[in-house]
Structure 1
Amino acid sequence: MKKKLLKAVVVGTLVVVSLVGCKKADKNDTQTSTEVKTEVETEDTSVAGEPSEKEKASTTKEDSEKKVITIAASSTPHAEILEQAKTILAEEGWDLQITEFSDYVQPNLVVESGDIDANYFQHIPYLDSFNAEQGTHLVNAGGIHYEPFGIYPGTKNDLSEIAKGDVIAVPNDTTNEARALLLLQDNNIITLKDGIGLEATVNDIVDNPYGVKIQELEAAQVSRVVPEVAFVVLNGNYALEAGFSVGKDAVAYESSESEAAKTYVNVIAVKEGNENNEGIKKLVEVLKSDEIKKFIKDTYDGAVVPFEN
């Protein structure tokens, strides 16, 4: 009797366990089914042609993982060239962040302070002069292009029209003023002291047969007095900003073979010690690439010329 009772209890227990087990299995099956259904339902809820949430998250992660290069630049042509480089650099995992400036002082100061990694707006003589005058420690990390200096019309359209008392506006910073005066000398408008070269100022004019007046202005201001003076002498970038074409509008300009053109190559400048940083080397490499050279040649009508070295 006891054996029969024990057997009945065991059987009953097994039945209960079996039923509980089945119930749990059913519950798990329902959860799994629901999870699969939810996953299928949320797999692609994006609008056709737009990135899915998953793709957006992936893109955001990729952007955050890009290495950053910060650079200061004048707007034309430097920032425009950098925008082309930005696309190429992005494909190689770099985020080029460009800050535009309208003067020739702040771009150097922000690199000296370390606020920005590099700048692109100046040639080597100006860089050297700035270091000497300001006590900064900036160096050339790579030459990219040069901009032929030109004489452009103001109230007169030809140098043969120059008359006594005419005003010619030139940049007033040390190296650019010398370059402007040398170009005026090359076109027989003035004569400078022998051998003065890149140190020339208006005080070094020894002959002025036309009696012209040289108006010295901050470089960015020269193009703004075009309606008021006979001629202006402009850097390539400011000529572009003023809507001038070297090939079509300049009444005279530096030859691409001239020593001045080679001397005044525009460079990527960095604080001393940073010239071999990975990001700076990559930036210079891209700016000297065939793609960027082609962009420069196709875009600037001779006002900007890739530097070959």
Structure 2
Amino acid sequence: MVWLGAGVLGGNALAQTPLNQTPLNQSPLSVAADAIPHAEILEQAERLADDLKLKIIEIPNGVNPNALLAGGDVQANFFQHVPYLRTQEEALGQKFEVVAAVHIEPLGIYSRRHARLADLPEGAVVALPNNASNLSRALFLLQDQGLLHLRPGLDDPASGLATLADIAGNPRKLRISEVESPLLPRVLQDVDAAIINGNYALEAGLKPARDALALERVAGNPYANVLVTAPALARDARVLRLAEVLASPQMSAFIRERYEGSVIPVH
């Protein structure tokens, strides 16, 4: 694992107005996070509140941050949305606590071969995330863009998880390829299009607000990325302090300035 220190992003005007409080006088809070944007946002949280001390653990591919949290290896994680968390609770037989909703990373459709969705040919190969919640999310995005039709009753992402079996209409005869989410940017050159999570797009040097052929709508989006902890730590002063800073106007301003529409603050 890579242990990240503060100061990676450099100073900015937002860091000049810290959210000061009486020091917590406790050991640093260990938080597992994706590198971009989550670890960057956590580093900014430390800058904004000089009483907040974090041990930020960058998540390598193949490591499940919810398993780390369930096993007590970390005290919180910051990388996921609630629909994914619920599937993890079922898989791990473990309950977790959501303590803050922070930002939305709109899922996007990307292509190296085509400049517009209208250019996708009949039989185009489209790569989608292979985990249940993000596969569903991708199918709804394809439906929103008129590329697929899901069965009646699946009207929006909050109505339930869609699967490939729920495709009721496929007018362009798209061929769906399921790929592990972190690998989607790597296969982009080998397919007609890929639907990629915002964090993995950013890590690959893509700018969703500029490079995506289409993005998820933000209004009513249930996929806000959240700070998660174990039930026993839900009232821990360090966890509550981090949640407060992540939901602050200063953090929202940082996210808007830093990511220019590719990451959107909830608050």
Q: TM-score, normalised by structure 2?
A: 0.85
Task: Give identity over the alignment, percent.
Answer: 37
1:237 matches 2:199: yes
Match of 2:239 in 1: 280
The amino acid across from 2:239 in the alignment is I
Residue 199 of structure 1: how far off its partner (Å): 1.3
For structure 2, list consecutive stretches of 5 or more residues without a partner in the other structure.
1-22
| 52, 55, 71: which one aligns with 2:31 | 71
Match of 2:17 in 1: none
How many Å separate the matches in 1 of 2:245 and 2:62?
A: 24
CA contact (8 A) 1:179 1:198 kept: no
CA contact (8 A) 1:155 1:228 kept: no
Match of 1:118 in 2: 76
CA contact (8 A) 2:110 2:196 kept: yes
The amino acid across from 2:142 in the alignment is L
For structure 1, list consecutive stretches of 5 or more residues without a partner in the other structure.
1-62
CA contact (8 A) 1:142 1:268 kept: yes
| 185, 199, 217: which one aligns with 1:223 | 185
| 56, 72, 80: which one aligns with 2:40 | 80
How many Å separate the matches in 1 of 2:164 and 2:90?
A: 21
Alpha-carbon distance change, 144 to 104 in structure 1, aligned in 2, over 3 angstroms: farther
1:305 matches 2:264: yes
Alpha-carbon distance change, 154 to 179 in structure 1, aligned in 2, over 3 angstroms: same
The amino acid across from 2:39 in the alignment is A
1:268 matches 2:227: yes
| 100, 121, 137: which one aligns with 1:142 | 100
CA contact (8 A) 1:71 1:120 kept: yes
CA contact (8 A) 2:99 2:227 kept: yes
How many Å separate the matches in 1 of 2:64 and 2:182?
A: 13
How many Å separate the matches in 1 of 2:72 and 2:160?
A: 30
After superposition, the C-alpha distances for 1:91-113 in whole angstroms (9 at most, x for unaligned) are 21x32100011347521111111
How many Å separate the matches in 2 of 1:243 and 1:205?
A: 32
After superposition, the C-alpha distances for 1:31-78 in whole angstroms (9 at most, x for unaligned) are xxxxxxxxxxxxxxxxxxxxxxxxxxxxxxxx9x65311100011100
The amino acid across from 2:34 in the alignment is S
CA contact (8 A) 1:102 1:220 kept: no
How many Å separate the matches in 1 of 2:90 and 2:192?
A: 34
How many Å separate the matches in 2 of 1:243 and 1:181?
A: 24
Q: Say which is worse superposed, 100-109 or 268-277, in terms of deviation.
A: 100-109
CA contact (8 A) 1:150 1:251 kept: yes
CA contact (8 A) 2:67 2:92 kept: no
Equivalent residues in 2 for 1:205-224, closer than 5 Å: 205-224=167-186
Query: Once superposed, which parts of structure 1, at least 4 consecutive aligned residues long, lie more than 4 Å away?
Result: none
Structure 1 residue matching 2:53: 3-state secondary structure: strand
Residue 302 of structure 1: how far off its partner (Å): 1.1
RMSD of the alignment, in Å?
1.7
CA contact (8 A) 1:75 1:102 kept: no
Between Structure 1 and Structure 2, the one with more helix by share is 1
